[in-house]
Structure 1
Amino acid sequence: MSKRAKTFSALLETNKKAISKFYYKYIFLIIIFGTILLGVIFYKLGAHIMLFGDTTAALGEYVRTVATVLGGALVLLGLWINNRRVAEQTRQNNINERGQINTRFKDAATLLGSESVSSILSGIYALHQIALETSIGDKGQRGYVNIIQDILCAYVRENTDTIQNEENGKAWRINKKPTIVIQTIVKVLFRNDMHIYSNLMTDLSDCVLEGINLDEAYIANVDFSRTKFIKSSFKNATFISCYLEDAFIDEVDFSGSSFEKTVFDLSHIKNTTFSKGSISQSDFWNVVFHHVSFKDTLLNNIDFKDADMEDGVNFENTKLGGYSTEEIKAKSAILTKN
């Protein structure tokens, strides 16, 4: 770009606002006088005769035509300016809305740090409401859904304490927050009607879910590795592409639930039922079972490779019913194949 062109470009940029103001103020007059001037020029060149012939009515028809063109140009200009104003107003509204959401988000996130259970619950629901609103709003705001999901999951993980017995070195995990707080978080994550978090990867590894009720929940793309499930209910729930590796599951009701592409490898499962549900394309490698029921469960492409089933595992009315423990451990993938 030449020095002169750069100077001219800088001049335009500097005076952009003034030029724009002049343009919108006088554009109608420019179009009116420009159209009239062109009409006169073409009249002098005999355009009225070329269009309407050499008659006494030609001039009148020509004037009406010029007036029609002028009117149409002004209407189009008016529509264009109005659209620009609407677009600008929409942009300003979006800016204001983002500012309001930012303020609401900050206030809601602050509530999670409160010592009051009611304040924490208010913060959870306020964040979830923002996620719901932004999930169907402007594309630039949809990032809130991911951020809010990360915050809620991190809250559960960070409020899981590991306690170690100094005498024998035995360690176990507990929740620092009341069950109702954890219950509310998993409820908004997995039992919202719009499933707004289901297409995101959810990290709830190394957590404690004790006394939780997630009946009829939709749980997809969740990492529950090393998480403890204790005395909880997941009846008629749906699990898709979840990881429960090295998990501890005790006194949990999964009856009527469906599992698809779910991994339970290396987990300990006891006093638990999967009855009357369905499990497909899932693995239970090296799982330790103790008093677990799969009665009346539809099993498809399931692998119990090297699982420990020495105590009370019930496969009644399933594809594996009637087979020995050794046969199930060695051939379950073949026996349950479609």
Structure 2
Amino acid sequence: MIEPSAAAQLRRIARRRAARDRRRQRSQSIGPGRDSGISRLTWVALAASMLPGLAALVALLFTWMSVGQTNKDLQIAEQGQITTRFNAAITNLGSESLDVRLGGIYALQRIMQDSSRDQRTVVSVLSAFVRQHAPVPVSGFKPAEEYRPPTDVVAVVSVLGNRSADREVTEDGKPLYRADLSSVDLRGLEREVGLTESGMPRRSNFRFAFLTGADLRGAGLENFDLSGASLDNANMSGVRLPNAVLRHAFLGGADLTNARLGAADMTGADLGGANLHNAHLNRAEETNEISEASSSANLTRVSLIGANLSNADLRGVLLVDADLTDADLAGADLRGADLSHADLSNADLTGARMSGAKLSGAILEGARGVPPHSRGGTP
């Protein structure tokens, strides 16, 4: 038989277990609801915290759209402003006042600097201005006389020469457009040559320009870049081209009598039928000695078929691989010139001074007046 005290203790233990079971059941029955409430509160709090970020994102999107529209409006306004400036400059070009015309010329220069897309149009307008105000007469070149181009024409030449060259060629170096200065009268042209940041003379950009039939007698074209330019039948008598670049230029039939071409780069140029009588292609014009320091023209691979080079100063000139077929070199000074692999077929070298000239691999078939000791160069 169980004692009363032991029975009482068992009842207390049973009641405590029953109480724990009830609490556990109650906790399990209400737990999910409480967790669900907590979860909802968490999501609400999270959403509330995201609202400022969403508002900022919307504001940023709106700002981006506004800036894009503003930039578009600004571009339209700028183009409208350039159009207004362009029309005003064109009007000024037609003025009877020199000062007003000069203002129009330099206004077009500024437009060309500000807007690359308008450079082609500006070049076309300025080229037409020169053709209109300084044309070679239909009857032909005027008699030789002291002459200087008008001030506004010189200003246009300066503006054209200072334009950016990078905007006018494709990636492979082909011209997108050309300045057309055909048959213009620029006799005696003189213009200041600016300096680069390094202090070197700045080249005037006339690459690929059309100067066919132009009158350039006595013009100073120092440091001009005439690469690929068309100068066929141009009158360039007495022109000064030291340090000029005429790579692959076309000078067929051009008159270069008494021209000064010291240190000019004429690599690959075509001078077929050109007249270079008494031309000087060496800076050391006043001396009879050729030194390594003297600067001679580079006529490597140049075409001089049938060209008149009689009495020309070609001392130390590079004529490697040059085509001098049927060329007249009578009386020319070729001392120290490099004619390696040049084609001198049927050329006239009567009276030419050729001491120190290099003729290794040169073709001398049918050439006249070649010193006997030079015949060894013929293959």
Return the TM-score normalized by structure 1.
0.71
Deviations 1:169-227 (A, max 9, x none): x53359x99522111111111124x4366433111111111222354323212111111
Q: Distance in 2 between matches of 1:161 and 1:186?
A: 14
- Candidates 223, 227, 237, aligned match of 1:250: 237
- Candidates 173, 179, 185, aligned match of 2:150: 179
Structure 2 equivalent of residue 206 of structure 1? 183
8 Å Cα contact 2:135-2:183 kept in structure 1: no
- Candidates 141, 146, 157, aligned match of 2:131: 157
AA in 2 matched with 1:306: G
Deviation (angstroms), 1:228: 0.9
Structure 1 equivalent of residue 344 of structure 2? 327
Structure 2 equivalent of residue 3 of structure 1? none
Q: Distance in 1 between matches of 2:79 and 2:108?
A: 14
Matching of residues 22-33 of structure 1 within 5 Å? none
Computing the radius of gyration over CA atoms, which structure comes out larger, 1 or 2?
2
Deviation (angstroms), 1:90: 1.5
Cα distance change, pair 177–60 in 1 and its aligned pair in 2 (3 A)? farther
Are 2:104 and 1:123 equivalent residues in the alignment?
Answer: yes
Q: Distance in 1 between matches of 2:82 and 2:47?
A: 52
Cα distance change, pair 196–278 in 1 and its aligned pair in 2 (3 A)? closer
Cα distance change, pair 250–198 in 1 and its aligned pair in 2 (3 A)? farther
Deviation (angstroms), 1:161: 4.0
Deviations 1:313-332 (A, max 9, x none): 111012353589x9387599
Q: As a proportion of its length, which structure holds more strand? A: 1
- Candidates 146, 159, 167, aligned match of 1:188: 159
RMSD value, Cα: 3.2
Cα distance change, pair 242–329 in 1 and its aligned pair in 2 (3 A)? farther
Structure 1 equivalent of residue 292 of structure 2? none
SS in structure 2 of the partner of residue 309 of structure 1: coil
Deviations 1:287-324 (A, max 9, x none): 122221112222211111011223x2111012353589
8 Å Cα contact 2:344-2:362 kept in structure 1: no
Deviations 1:11-47 (A, max 9, x none): xxxxxxxxxxxxxxxxxxxxxxxxxxxxxxxxxxxxx
Q: Distance in 2 between matches of 1:103 and 1:232?
A: 36
Structure 2 equivalent of residue 58 of structure 1? 39
Structure 2 equivalent of residue 86 of structure 1? 67
Q: 5+ residue gaps in structure 2?
A: 1-30, 170-176, 194-202, 283-295, 320-333, 349-358, 364-379
Q: Distance in 2 between matches of 1:86 and 1:293?
A: 62
Q: Distance in 1 between matches of 2:161 and 2:256?
A: 22
Q: Distance in 1 between matches of 2:345 and 2:61?
A: 73
8 Å Cα contact 1:304-1:328 kept in structure 2: no
Deviation (angstroms), 1:271: 1.8
AA in 2 matched with 1:283: D
Cα distance change, pair 154–196 in 1 and its aligned pair in 2 (3 A)? farther
8 Å Cα contact 2:136-2:214 kept in structure 1: no
Structure 2 equivalent of residue 303 of structure 1? 303
8 Å Cα contact 1:153-1:203 kept in structure 2: yes
Are 2:271 and 1:271 equivalent residues in the alignment?
Answer: no
Cα distance change, pair 79–197 in 1 and its aligned pair in 2 (3 A)? closer
Cα distance change, pair 271–329 in 1 and its aligned pair in 2 (3 A)? farther
Q: 5+ residue gaps in structure 1?
A: 1-48, 136-141, 165-169
8 Å Cα contact 1:239-1:260 kept in structure 2: yes
Q: As a proportion of its length, which structure holds more helix? A: 1
Deviation (angstroms), 1:264: 0.4
Deviation (angstroms), 1:128: 0.9
8 Å Cα contact 2:235-2:254 kept in structure 1: yes
- Candidates 195, 215, 230, aligned match of 2:217: 230
SS in structure 2 of the partner of residue 249 of structure 1: coil
Q: Distance in 2 between matches of 1:257 and 1:162?
A: 24
Q: Distance in 2 between matches of 1:293 and 1:197?
A: 34
8 Å Cα contact 1:179-1:212 kept in structure 2: no
Cα distance change, pair 196–159 in 1 and its aligned pair in 2 (3 A)? farther
Cα distance change, pair 122–56 in 1 and its aligned pair in 2 (3 A)? same
Q: Distance in 1 between matches of 2:238 and 2:132?
A: 24
Aligned length: 270
- Candidates 139, 144, 147, aligned match of 2:121: 147
Are 2:52 and 1:75 equivalent residues in the alignment?
Answer: no
Deviation (angstroms), 1:251: 1.9
8 Å Cα contact 1:224-1:242 kept in structure 2: yes
Structure 2 equivalent of residue 313 of structure 1? 312
Q: Distance in 2 between matches of 1:67 and 1:82?
A: 23
Q: Distance in 1 between matches of 2:153 and 2:167?
A: 17
